Each structure stands twice: as structure tokens, then as C-alpha cells.
Chains A and B, each alone.
Chain A
Amino acid sequence: MEILTPFLLLAGLGILLGLAIGLVAKRFEVPQDPKFTQIRESLPGANCGGCGYAGCDAYAKAVLEGKAPLTSCVVGGEPVSRTIAGIMGVEQDTFEKKVAFVMCSGDTSHAQDKMRYDGVQHCLEASMVPGSGPKSCPYGCVGFGTCVTACKFDAIHVENRLAHVDEDKCVGCGACAAVCPKNIIKIIPKSMKVRVQCSGQDRGRDVRLVCEAGCLGCTLCVRTCPEKAIYMEGNVARIDPSKCVACGACIAKCPAKVIHMVGAESETAAD
């Protein structure tokens, strides 16, 4: 009896309360917009935050309220945005796939180490040692793979102390760009074929001293470009994707071979 009473009491109480909760849930059910459920289900559910909202739920809510563009989901890409557009009953906005791009060419064969670094194998820690990190170039990729850890899609990897993006896997969520202490990862449209793979702000001669693959800031490409699509950002050339026609004139002229065309050619250029 001494055991049975408390057992029955608590079990009964639990069952009773459970039933009560169930009843209340049925009775006071708040009907949700069926569109919300549909949108939420069509989203990938990675909760990566690449759309700029706290998660897939928040994005679905914002879409429903008309506050978010239908094309924000970077994971789902075009198919998902088309599905959402179908649910919302509107024409789909044009979708542009974005990818992350590492603006550095300084792998171990091009940029030497200026010190032996035995500290924490983490980009942020390493970039805070005097001299801005172990690599000779203070602007370049530190190469400890903080971006690799940040990536939820296994799309970025470090080879020869330089991060490379696998553009087939990359969804352009920007997680890697946010953690890079050097700020050399940029989210760009995938359609942008010709890219300057350097972020160094040093002058020509200083660049030569630290990296064999760095932009010298000679502005030769700026003068060569027939479309006037190249401009200087400090001492490094940048290409305006809206003007670039991928003619390749700059690639031929560049003395440092730091401008690459994405595709088969970039593989050979990297070697």
C-alpha cells in the first residue's frame, strides 16, 4: 500500500494531465496558414542562415509576409525558389547562383612561411601573432581551415595551406566568409568567370618578395580591358561582373598570372 498509493497517484496525475493537455491542444488549436507549412516543407531545412534569417522557419514566415525575396534560399537554389513561387502564386524572380571565392593564390608553392608557427592551429589565433600570421604575405590565406570548420556543406577545403572552394557543393551561404579573419572570402555570382585571385595591398616589389602569385598592382589589366570592367581597389585589381564579357584579354596580359578564368583553364593556371 505504501508503494502503491504514490505510484497510482503520480501515474494517475500524469495520465490525467496528459489527457488534459491533449484536449486543450485540440480545443484551442490555432489554425496555421497552410501556405506556411507548404513553404516550410519545400525548404531544405539546413537552418544555415544563408538567407539572412534565423532559420528555415523564420524565412518561411518572412516569405509568407512578403518581406523576403523568394530567391533567398541559397541551399535549395533555383528549384526551391520555383516551388515557393508556385505556392505563393507569383512569377519567379530570376535566380542567380552564388558561390564563395577565396581571393588568394598563395599556396605553399607560391608563398613561403616567414616563421615556424607552433601555436593553435586556428586561423584567427594564427593571424594575431606579430606579422599577421605565419605566411609571408600578411593579406593572404592563413590556411588552418577555420572556413572548413564553418562550412556545413563540405564545400571548402585546404590544400597546400590554401583554401579552395568546391563550386558544385558551395551554396553561397557566406558562413566561411564570416569567419575568415583575413576577409579574403567573397560571395560572388557563379556566372562571374574571370576573377582576380589575390587580396594583397602591397606594392609591386613588396608583393614579389612575399608571393610569386600576387597581384602587383601594375594596372596593366585595367588599361587592357576593352570593356573597362577592371578597376583598382587599393593596390589590387578587381573585376566588375556586370561589365566583364570573359574575353580573356586581361588574363593574357597579366604579368603575375593572378587573373584566372574559371573552368578547365583555372586548373592549369593553379599548377
Chain B
Amino acid sequence: MNLLIILISSMLVNNFVLSRFLGICPFLGVSKRTDTAMGMGLAVIFVITISSAFTYMIYTFLLVPLHVEYLYNIAFILVIAALVQMLEMVIQKVSPTLYSALGVYLPLITTNCAVLGVAVLNMQEGYNLIESVVNGFAASAGFALGITLFAGVRERIADNRILRAMEGFPIAMISAGLMAIAFFGFKGLI
């Protein structure tokens, strides 16, 4: 039950992009087309889920026993970056299909704040290993959901005539804001 609450809360209620404002850069940067947005979302799910497990272990078995918890930011970034590098190489060898599907997005999100954000939140909430992984998966799935929906919105906008001064980023920002308000409606779920 607890896991279900974490899942829904991280995916919808406290959506990473629309409620916590993490990972805004890829959210606006790669949301012009639905297929690239989905690729990005997939890569984010992949990286965050795995990295939340690893950062949990680093924190619990390395930082806490040595009483250097304050190092978590540096340690997490280090681990995540290295992890993504290794993952990329392994995927390239093991599954070329997945590798080409994730494409350039995999190395791009190495230092994304959403990835670090999940790790830090897991730590602050005091989640155990399973809860951390579930929370990581839910948060990144929320990101994927948000970016895919947003790309759909932007594709529609691109086909329409809009005010010259509003073209491009201004209208994207406004749509993102409206989407955030819509997601605000999930607040009543829990």
C-alpha cells in the first residue's frame, strides 16, 4: 500500500517537471516531436530507476558508516555519471536496438537535475531500497508522461497560426504552465 502511494504521488501528484520543476531543460528542449520526447522519457526512466538503487546503496553502505553524509551531492553525481557511461557501453554491446532507441539522450541526461533530485529525495524521505527504486521509477515515469503529453501539445501548436511574438518559447512556456495547473488537479488524489 505504501509503495502504491509512493507510485501515484511521485508520478502524478508531485510530478517532477510540473510540480517540482526539475528537469525543465530536456522538458522544453526535446519536446518538439512526440517520438523524440518518448525516446527521452524512456532514457530517463531507465537511468533514474537504476541510479536510485545505486545511490541508495552508496549512501547507506558508504556515506553513513563513514559519517560523511554531507558529501552526498558529489558522491551521487560521481556515481550517476559513471553508471550512465557504463550502462551505455553495456547496452551498445548487449542490445543495439535499445541503444539506437535511446540514442543521444542517454549520455545527455547524465548530469540532469532530475536524476540527482530523485536520489536526494530518496535520501531525505528515508526510503529503503525497494521504496527508492519504486520512487525513482514513478518519478521518471511521471517525467516521461509529462514530456510526451507536452510534445503532443507542441505538435498541435506548431500546426496552428499563433501570434508572431508568441512563437517558439513563449507559447511553450505558457502551455507548460497550463499543463502544470492541470496536473495540480491530482492533488486531491491522496
Residue ranges of A at the interface with B (Cβ–Cβ < 8 Å):
5-6, 9-10, 13-14, 17-18, 20-21, 24-25, 28-30
Shortest distance between the CB of A10 and any CB in chain B (Å): 6
Q: When chains A and B are docked, how far (Å) is the Cα of A24 from the Cα of B79?
A: 15
Please indicate the chain B residues that have their CB under 8 angstroms from the CB of A21 in the complex.
82, 85-86, 89
B90 adjacent to chain A (CB < 8 Å): yes
Q: A9-B68, A13-B62 are in contact. List 20 more A-B contacts (CB 8 A).
A: A5-B68, A6-B68, A6-B71, A9-B63, A9-B71, A10-B74, A10-B75, A13-B78, A13-B79, A14-B78, A17-B78, A20-B86, A21-B82, A21-B85, A24-B90, A28-B89, A28-B90, A28-B92, A28-B94, A30-B93
Shortest distance between the CB of B100 and any CB in chain A (Å): 12
Shortest distance between the CB of A18 and any CB in chain B (Å): 8
Please indicate the chain A residues that have their CB under 8 angstroms from the CB of B74 in the complex.
10
Please indicate the chain A residues that have their CB under 8 angstroms from the CB of B79 in the complex.
13, 17
Please indicate the chain B residues that have their CB under 8 angstroms from the CB of A6 in the complex.
68, 71
How many chain B residues have a CB neighbour from A under 8 Å? 18
B189 adjacent to chain A (CB < 8 Å): no
Indicate if the CB atoms of A24 and B92 lie closer than 8 Å.
Answer: no
Please indicate the chain B residues that have their CB under 8 angstroms from the CB of A24 in the complex.
86, 89-90
18 A-B pairs in the complex with CB atoms less than 8 angstroms apart: A5-B67, A6-B68, A6-B71, A10-B74, A10-B75, A10-B78, A13-B62, A13-B75, A13-B79, A14-B78, A20-B82, A20-B86, A21-B82, A21-B89, A24-B89, A28-B92, A28-B93, A30-B93
Q: When chains A and B are docked, how far (Å) is the Cα of A29 from the Cα of B89?
A: 7
Please indicate the chain A residues that have their CB under 8 angstroms from the CB of B82 in the complex.
17-18, 20-21
Shortest distance between the CB of A223 and any CB in chain B (Å): 49
B182 adjacent to chain A (CB < 8 Å): no
A13-B79, A17-B78 known; A5 vs B89 contact (CB < 8 Å)? no
Please indicate the chain A residues that have their CB under 8 angstroms from the CB of B67 in the complex.
5
Please indicate the chain A residues that have their CB under 8 angstroms from the CB of B90 in the complex.
24, 28
Q: When chains A and B are docked, how far (Å) is the Cα of A20 from the Cα of B86?
A: 8
Shortest distance between the CB of A25 and any CB in chain B (Å): 6
